[in-house]
Amino acid sequence: MSNPNVWRIEHSIETTASPDAIWRLFSDVSGWVRWNAGIAEIAIDGPFAEGTWFTMTPPGQEPLRCRLVEVREAESFADETCVGDLVVVVAHRIAPHGGGARVTYALEARGPDAAEIGAAIASDFPDVLASLARLAEGRAA
């Protein structure tokens, strides 16, 4: 039986960009606004490393405090955002694929309204991944 307070979804894209090109964009937090329309402003409090906090402001919304909870150089990272009793973790994974990479966003939301809020957060993942891939491939984001 599934837990109604836990909700998960994944989206992936295949790109001709190299895993290194994707990682360069992932690890440049201040540059996320170039390929993620869901971010109006972002600032990181230290290095791109496990435990570092960052503040992300979605367009027209209040800033959110987020923490890098896992960073595996050139492979993946995960960030966690807590809003009240709701915890949202988004894993960003890179895997070699053909001559390029497969990039996956995996979201897990735990707590009240997990499905509703998780679905809202993940709704732009396909567009964000497409924009990321275009930029990594050297095309306009």
- Residue 112 belongs to domain with CATH number: 3.30.530.20
Domain count of the fold of the chain: 1
- How far is the C-alpha of 94 from the C-alpha of 17, rounded, in Å? 11
In a domain, 98, yes or no: yes
Q: Helix 125-136 and helix 19-27: axis angle, to 10°?
A: 110
Reported as a single tens digit per residue, the pLDDT across 71-117 is 999 999 999 999 999 999 999 999 999 999 999 999 999 999 999 99
Q: Which two three-digit tokens encode residue 76?
A: 């993946």
For residue 21, what are the domain limits?
Answer: 6-136
Tell me how far apart the alpha carbons of residues 63 and 81 are, in angstroms, rounded to a whole number.
11
- Please indicate, yes or no, if residue 1 is contained in any of the structural domains: no
Using a CB cutoff of 8 Å and minimum separation of 24, what contacts does 41-49 make? 48/77
Adjacent-strand bridge partners of 101: 15, 96
**62 φ, ψ (degrees, to nearest 5):** -75, 150
Q: How far is CA 99 from CA 15, 33, 49, in A?
A: 9, 27, 28
**pTM value?**
0.94
What percent of the chain is predicted at pLDDT more than 90? 94
pLDDT in tens, 21-75: 999 999 999 999 999 999 999 999 999 999 999 999 999 999 999 999 999 999 9
